Amino acid sequence: MQRGGTRISEARSAPEAARSVRPEGTIDAFISDVVAAEIARQMRLSVATSRSPALVAAVQRVMSRHGITDPHRLRDRIAADDALREEVLDEVTVRETHFFRDSKQFELLRHTILPHLCRPRASAPARIWSAGCASGEEPYSLAILCAEDGHSVRISASDISMKALAEAAEAEYGEWSFREMGEYLKRRYFLQRGDRYRLRPDVARSVRFTQVNLGFDRLPAPDRGLAGFDLILCRNVLVYLDAADLMRVAEELFTCLAEGGWLLTAPTDPPLWRYASFQTATTGAGLVYRKPMHVAREAGYEARYSKEARR
Ligand SMILES: C[S@@+](CC[C@H](N)C(=O)[O-])C[C@H]1O[C@@H](n2cnc3c(N)ncnc32)[C@H](O)[C@@H]1O
């Protein structure tokens, strides 16, 4: 008798099947999604269900490197060993990024959003946050754009990974990071040393880095300067979060914006409009979210803005 192409007499449980195909001399333990999820919880790492196989594979690689055969032992060691925690984090997270990633979004930033935020008579520099900045190319792209166009801004950037933040603070990059950035800006803002390029220190200094775990830390955090932003970029990060955390983070990002502030996510990120009271616009660069102005202020602002525009 056959069911789904397998003879019932030959059918085995999933763990049995996994044990039988495991090569000799490697890890004994069978790592289930459940144990891997426990490890992620121990690390306070939010992982989307779709990333479960990647999490299991990452845990497996770290166990193999350290000769750990019981995943529960890895979980317990992570609690007391920050370096091991960072190592697992590094295996699980995707840190792919580059300068001016998604040129359409940078066009929108350059020609619409930044000129609006940095109007000549603005009373203070615009405040920008790159949340999930990886090795720094995203906030530094903003810093370069603002230097180029003479905008006065304060840029914060954060990531869960200390390793990524250390690389970002170094501000030195290889050729691959420049694949979407023109030669003109590269020559103007980077100093070449062999096959590496170091960002000009005056521009690098305009970005402040800090560690934030979006899946765990509570936001806004005014004491850490994480509140009242005019613009937040949170691109290619939300797609990795567990569904419950995604809803909470959407609300927290909304609360971290100043009235009238803007939020950009990546075109491949999940839509956020259903989780917080954003004004959402569909543009050629994907969805753009704004925190509405108070109605009275919106009217006042519009009047002032059109008066300025008429001058
Ligand atoms: C693919 S990179 C995106 C970098 C940049 N935003 C871009 O779009 O090019 C994703 C980054 O999100 C970070 N990340 C993942 N989960 C996070 C979390 N819960 N909190 C903060 N950062 C997280 C990763 O460490 C990684 O550096």
CATH architecture of 103-310: 3-Layer(aba) Sandwich (3.40)
pLDDT at 259 over 90: yes
What are the tokens at 245? 């955390």
Q: Are strands 257-264 and 286-290 parallel, antiparallel or unpaired?
A: antiparallel
- Outline where 228-282 has alpha helix (H): 243-256
Q: What is the pLDDT of residue 56?
A: 93
Q: What is the pLDDT of residue 122?
A: 76
CA dihedral 111, 116, 119, 125 (to 10 degrees): -100
- Outline where the chain has alpha helix (H): 14-21, 33-42, 52-66, 71-80, 82-92, 103-108, 114-117, 137-149, 162-170, 183-189, 201-204, 243-256, 295-310
Domain boundaries defined on the chain: 14-92, 103-310
CA 241 to ligand 1 center in whole angstroms: 10
Atom of ligand 1 nearest to the CA of 164: 27
Atom of ligand 1 nearest to the CA of 159: 22
| C-beta of residue 301 within 8 angstroms of C-beta of residue 260 | yes
Nearest CA to ligand 1 atom 2: 95
Across residues 159-176, what is the average pLDDT?
97
Q: Rounded distance, CA 76 to CA 244, Å?
A: 25
pLDDT tens digit sequence for 19-66: 444 444 444 446 788 999 999 999 999 999 999 999 999 999 999 999
CB atoms near residue 61 (< 10 Å): 15
Compute the chain's Rg from CA coordinates.
23
Query: Could you give the percent of the chain with pLDDT greater than 70?
Result: 85
Mean pLDDT rounded to a whole number for the chain: 87
Q: What is the pLDDT of residue 94?
A: 96
Answer yes or no: is the C-beta of 142 below 6 A from any ligand 1 atom.
Answer: no
pLDDT tens digit sequence for 88-139: 999 999 999 999 999 999 999 999 999 999 987 778 999 999 999 999 999 9
pLDDT tens digit sequence for 120-133: 777 899 999 999 99
